[in-house]
Amino acid sequence: VGRDRYGVFPLRGKLLNVRDASTQQVMNNAEITYLKQILGLQHGKKYEDTKSLRYGHLMIMTDQDHDGSHIKGLVINFMHHFFPSLVKMPGFMVEFVTPIVKATRNNGKDVKVFYTLPEYESWKEASANEKGWKIKYYKGLGTSTAKEAKEYFADLQKNSKDFTYTCDEDGKLIEMVFSKKHVDDRKRWLNSFQPGTFLDHNCSEIPYKDFINKELILFSRADLERSIPCILDGFKPGQRKIMYCGFKRNLKSDIKVAQFAGYVSEHSAYHHGEQSLASTIVGLAQDYVGSNNVNLLFPSGQFGTRLQGGKDSASPRYIYTRLGPLARYLFREEDDRLLNYLDEDGQSIEPEWYLPVLPLVLLNGADGIGTGWSTSIPNYNPKDVAANVKRYISGMPMESMVPWYKGFEGEISRVITKGASADKGESFSVSGIINIIDEKTIEIVELPLRKWTQDYKDFLEALMKPVKKEQQPFITDYKEYHTDTSVHFVVTLPEKNLELAQKQGIYKTFKLLTTISTSNMHLFSSEGLIKRYTAPEEIIEEFCDKRLEFYQKRKDCMLQDEEEQMKRLDNKVRFILMVVNGELVISNRKKADIESDLDNLGFDRLTKGGKSKASKQNQENDEDDEASPKSSKAGAKVSYDYLLSMPLWSLSLEKVQDLQNEYDQKKEAVQKIRGTKPTDMWLDDIEQLEENLDVVAAEEKKLQEELAEQQQRAKGGKGKGKAKGKSAKAAPKKLAVGVKVAPPVIEAKAPSKRGKAAAPKKRITQVDSDSEDDFMPSLMERLASRSGAGDIDVAKVPAAKAPAKRKQMSKKESLDSPSPQQKTKTVRRVSPVKKKTARAAAKKKSIVLSETEESDSEFENDSEFDSDALCDDESESDSDFEM
């Protein structure tokens, strides 16, 4: 088209959503600044024509996929928000369309072009019987060749479509999609989506309302599917494709993550970047504290740790993976044939959804931000989930569950909320572990979930910087003794600051208390609709309803297979006996005549295959067997080959006896299956899963013990003889003397009604139990078992006030006697013992300090330090995230 009348400006990524952006954000955005300069736009001017502009049209050319539609919408949103007169001007806003799918045959003589995937799917269903079409998917503009690009621009009039502003409804729709003020309207818009919707690009003009309702809605729906998992298998589409390819390849030996990503992209028709696939593979294999309770892939290499929340994983080309030991106990092979496998360009790909033995979305949790909705689901103990599924099976009421994360040593406790509505979900307090060693030293041996070690180290660094120049820093020093699986900070601070921290709440001061909420649990339901769940038990109930149906289907399929095997064996025995007795002659005859006799004698035409137990086992051991259940089933043909292809030695008496014995065994198996209830099959699967959960847990515990033993030998095994002193870098020994601080008991009050004054805050006093005083677990014992990040909010702790004048006490009395500020708490403390003899005696009994704080002071997650929050305590309308 030439450069005389057409200028080209490449947008780098997606344009800023200016609808709710600040003036500073808009002014600092380079893309918007360039657009205004190129077009010569003036803020606040109402345009009646384009004579004052440098160009008379704004043509948008993007990829034809969902993200390309989003970019078009963002550009339209920018123009409508600041220059609505130009949006309403006929012919000013234009789009240039390119194909997303091309179907060709007869060496390219017959060509069909599709501009949306639903349009292609509609054609494919209508022409299902037509063969010979070659399909090519155009992921982006870069997929087109130079020849094809010239063809597009040669027919500029056909490929350019004018946006038209038909009425005020167009403007309202643009605002509804991109403004935070229309959250509920946007949700209703998304819920009105009908599968198969697409925009017809054969017309020359496209009304804005058609672009919003028929094209942009496809992006919003796809964005939701990529962000919100399905209740049935707990997967998002990329995760489902990865597990499908892992099962298809029977991935039992290591493969590079980068290579596996390429395999998944090829065999599951994945149309996005392989880098995002590799990141998803890494996420499925991670097993550090705060990630997965059940990792479906095995992490063979550095897949990330709690030090940086998984961000410290190695490059995909350096690490390996394979199916995890529990993958096939969760996703049973017997269910594979029952699933609805999707089809892409004639290639069988992943199923619509899987059905695991237990709801995976509760085992590993889920987080996601989509258009209109977000989701945050905590992890739960697989044993607790299994117990509730068993209660569902037996018809008993389920028990309420508390979130649980493998390896986490802190406390997760339910927040007591008076008068709270059950449909708003629950909140749980999550606390780390802090111990007071002496009046100037504390140790932190566990962090709240998803507060990573490196970020907490930065937080402590900030505490070492004084708020004001003349003030002393809140802490003076800290030392690190943690590993990639455990946390251990030893912090030194002035005595007055420790007292101040205890007064304010030591957990709050050191950011060791957060909350988890179940108020934002959104999932795609079994009907494919976004649904909000208020409790994990509600998720279990809906999952179990669907899962039980498939156990009945599995039973029916197993009966069908066994009865077919019985029929096959019966026909073989009859066939051999009739040949041996001369009742059927097969030698020196045509195959058609033999088959005619077999028809007359009542034999059955069956498939030649028929999986015996042995052959099935061989298939399980063959890692390269890539026959999907759908393809193997589709290729089967019925005939008499299973009889006529038997070797000659099959006519022996021994063979007849073997076949008869096998027939009797099949008959017993059929009777056993008929007498088995679907619920019994489910319980057997759960029992096998639980047994293997214990096996994996024992192996992990053994590995941790071996690592701890190696570390201990490395610390004390070097040098000549035994060292008299302790190395400065060695971790301190087990805590023998000091105070373990118990996390506060939190009681949240229901919000008061309007017009009434809020009730005064109450203090909750927790009294120590005598039984807890007798023994306190040592530090190394707590670290023996395996113990999840964000910007840091520096704790600004005010300087301690000067104490009131009083009678001077000895150091011992000052430590043993509570201060006036502490008299509202019921506590017991012990003084630090300095002599070795007293230290040894003190090992027999340690005092637990029970800390009390204001009832609602820790209910709010006041830590900006945790940007990857586990929960969203906002109302449902506030959980909307903009496009």
Q: Which of 270, 318, 354, 640 is catalytic?
A: 318
Pairing type for strands 427-431 and 411-414 reads: antiparallel
Distance CA(372)–CA(520), nearest Å, equals 12
| 687: helix, strand or coil | helix
φ, ψ for residue 387, nearest 5 deg: -65, -40
| 288: helix, strand or coil | coil
| Tokens representing residue 781 in the block | 């014992």
Distance spanning both ends of the chain, measured CA to CA: 34
| 802: helix, strand or coil | coil
Pairing type for strands 110-114 and 160-164 reads: unpaired
Please report the pLDDT score of residue 707 as a whole number. Answer: 84
pLDDT at 178 over 80: yes
pLDDT at 762 over 80: no
pLDDT, the chain, mean: 79
Please report the pLDDT score of residue 424 as a whole number. Answer: 80
Least confidently predicted of 251-255, 436-440, 558-562, 836-840 = 836-840
Distance CA(815)–CA(487), nearest Å, equals 28
DSSP state at residue 48: S
pLDDT at 685 over 50: yes
Distance CA(478)–CA(236), nearest Å, equals 42
Closest CA to 149 of 140, 372, 223: 140
Query: Who has greater pLDDT, 640 or 247?
Result: 247
Q: Identify the residue whose tokens are 């496809």.
A: 218
Per-residue pLDDT, averaged over 768-779, amounts to: 36
Amino acid symbol at 693: L
- E strand intervals along 404-484: 411-414, 416-418, 427-431, 433-438, 441-446, 477-480
Query: Who has greater pLDDT, 820 or 197?
Result: 197
Please report the pLDDT score of residue 582 as a whole number. Answer: 85
> Which pLDDT tens digit goes with each residue over 385-432?
999 999 999 999 999 999 999 999 999 999 877 666 667 889 999 999
Distance CA(789)–CA(374), nearest Å, equals 19
Dihedral of CA atoms 32, 37, 40, 41 in degrees, nearest 10, equals: 30
Q: Identify the residue whose tokens are 């019925």.
A: 638
Confidence bin at 453 (pLDDT 50/70/90): very high
Q: Which residues of 698-713 are buried (b: 16+ CB within 10 A; e: fewer)?
A: eeeeeebeeebeeeee
Q: Which residues of 856-871 are buried (b: 16+ CB within 10 A; e: fewer)?
A: ebbbebebebbeebbb
pLDDT at 746 over 80: no
> Which pLDDT tens digit goes with each residue over 83-119?
999 999 999 999 998 888 888 887 777 888 888 888 8
Distance CA(832)–CA(838), nearest Å, equals 10
Cβ atoms < 10 Å from Cβ of 335? 21
H-state helical runs in 785-858: 811-816, 836-842
Confidence bin at 848 (pLDDT 50/70/90): very low
Query: Who has greater pLDDT, 121 or 694?
Result: 694
State CA 515 to chain mean position distance. Answer: 19
On whether the CB atoms of residues 309 and 788 are closer than 8 A, the answer is: yes
Least confidently predicted of 55-69, 278-292, 828-842 = 828-842
Handedness of CA 830, 832, 835, 839 (dihedral sign): positive
Distance CA(68)–CA(14), nearest Å, equals 9
Distance CA(428)–CA(411), nearest Å, equals 10
Closest CA to 233 of 659, 525, 639, 656: 525
On whether the CB atoms of residues 287 and 294 are closer than 8 A, the answer is: no
Please report the pLDDT score of residue 798 as a whole number. Answer: 40
φ, ψ for residue 633, nearest 5 deg: -75, -35
| Tokens representing residue 380 in the block | 């739960």
Distance CA(278)–CA(262), nearest Å, equals 9
Closest CA to 488 of 497, 479, 496: 479
Q: At what angle do helices 274-285 and 237-249 cross, to 10 degrees?
A: 80
| Tokens representing residue 632 in the block | 């193997």
Closest CA to 686 of 297, 332, 293, 405: 332
CA distances from 8 to 60, 397, 759 (A): 10, 65, 64
Please report the pLDDT score of residue 748 as a whole number. Answer: 53
Closest CA to 883 of 76, 160, 91: 76
Distance CA(436)–CA(336), nearest Å, equals 55
Query: Who has greater pLDDT, 271 or 803?
Result: 271
Distance CA(766)–CA(853), nearest Å, equals 10
On whether the CB atoms of residues 485 and 303 are closer than 8 A, the answer is: no
Confidence bin at 646 (pLDDT 50/70/90): confident
In the chain, domain spans: 23-98+138-225, 228-372, 411-529, 539-612+637-675
The hierarchical CATH code for the domain 411-529 is 3.30.1360.40
- The CATH-assigned architecture of domain 539-612+637-675 is Orthogonal Bundle (1.10)
φ, ψ for residue 443, nearest 5 deg: -130, 140
Distance CA(883)–CA(67), nearest Å, equals 11
- E strand intervals along 481-555: 489-492, 513-517, 521-524, 530-533
Q: What percent of the chain has pLDDT over 90?
A: 48
Closest CA to 260 of 231, 310, 211, 300: 300
Q: Which CATH class name applies to 23-98+138-225?
A: alpha beta
> Which pLDDT tens digit goes with each residue over 519-561?
999 999 988 889 999 999 999 999 999 999 999 999 999 998 8
Domain 228-372 has CATH 3.40.630.20: no
Give yes or no: 318 in active site.
yes
